[in-house]
Amino acid sequence: MPEVKVAQLSKRFAGNTVLHDIDFTIEDGEFFTLLGPSGCGKSTTLSCIAGLERPSAGSITVGEKIFVDTAAKTFVPPEGRELGMVFQSYALWPHMTVAQNLAMPLKIRKIDKARQGVLIDDALEKVGLKDLRDRYPHQMSGGQQQRVALARALVYSPDVLLLDEPLSNLDAQLREQARAWLKRLQEELGITTVYVTHDQEEALALSDRIAVMSEGRLVQVGPPHEIYQEPATVGVASFVGRCN
């Protein structure tokens, strides 16, 4: 069902245009990655999908639901969008246990206590952390905390998952493990995912399709092998490591 459509998306901050006419469509179940160097507009694009930023122009639709359409003056606030999010700066609440962290989005949705317990166990099972239910964030490794953040994003079965550099706080070895684990989870769940990274290897390893961004524009969209073997521009070629 959730086909994500981003059309003619533009964003200005105080007269500075950071997104220029971004267009892409994501199929149901697809793992779609926005790849590009720091400052190219990846997080702003994701924030527009999440409703944390309002586009200056354009529209975003998920399934039948219009999230935002500047021409029609439609804007659905973040809490009306049923998305799961793991953002760089979106840490766990340190004073709450794992189970309490996961209960938060369920309480907001007024899901009853008994059902909350079931959903929390399900989500922790998916990320392989059922035994850590009663731990506090500081009692876990960085990798485990990231998995809990992902479980919290999955706990109410969102239509679409938005992941903004979710592995960037991990050291190299943990990142490798987390990548393998994320790929397995994606294969099991098949949830439509918009993934943001500046790490080309990560993008090539995880994605069904990659959209390469540069200075607020999409420069190429395609499956990993195409981006790697037939880069559309010298910029894409150098960014994915084909030449220097």
Structure tokens at 141: 């490794």
Question: Whose Cβ is closer to ligand ADP: residue 12's or residue 115's?
Answer: 12
- Residue identified by tokens 């999010």 is 85
Q: How far is the CB of 43 from Mg ion (least distance, A)?
A: 3
Candidates 200, 204, 207; CA nearest to 235 is: 200
Question: Whose Cβ is closer to Mg ion: residue 33's or residue 43's?
Answer: 43
Q: How is the chain classified by DSSP, letter by letter?
A: ---EEEEEEEEEETTEEEEEEEEEEE-TT-EEEEE--TTSSHHHHHHHHHTSS--SEEEEEETTEEEEETTTTEE--GGGS-EEEE-TT-PPPTTS-HHHHHHHHHHHTT--HHHHHHHHHHHHHHTT-GGGTT--GGGS-HHHHHHHHHHHHHTT--SEEEEESTTTTS-HHHHHHHHHHHHHHHHHH--EEEEEES-HHHHHHH-SEEEEEETTEEEEEE-HHHHHHS-SSHHHHHHTTS--
Picked from Mg ion, ligand ADP, none, the partner binding residue 13 (CB below 5 to 8 A depending on kind) is ligand ADP
For Mg ion (CB under 5 A), the number of binding residues is 1
Question: Whose Cβ is closer to ligand ADP: residue 42's or residue 152's?
Answer: 42
Q: How far is the CB of 156 from ligand ADP (least distance, A)?
A: 26
Question: Whose Cβ is closer to ligand ADP: residue 18's or residue 103's?
Answer: 18
Question: Whose Cβ is closer to Mg ion: residue 106's or residue 194's?
Answer: 194
Q: How many residues are recorded in the chain?
A: 244
Strand partners, 69: 59, 74
Q: How far is the CB of 37 from ligand ADP (least distance, A)?
A: 7
Q: How far is the CB of 44 from Mg ion (least distance, A)?
A: 8
Picked from ligand ADP, Mg ion, none, the partner binding residue 93 (CB below 5 to 8 A depending on kind) is none
Q: How far is the CB of 186 from ligand ADP (least distance, A)?
A: 21
Question: Whose Cβ is closer to ligand ADP: residue 41's or residue 143's?
Answer: 41
Residues between 11 and 50 that touch Mg ion (CB under 5 A): 43
Q: How far is the CB of 213 from ligand ADP (least distance, A)?
A: 7
* Interacting residues with ligand ADP (CB under 6 A): 13, 18, 36, 38-44
Picked from ligand ADP, Mg ion, none, the partner binding residue 207 (CB below 5 to 8 A depending on kind) is none
Instruction: Kindly list the residues in this chain that would bind Mg ion in the complex (CB under 5 A).
Output: 43
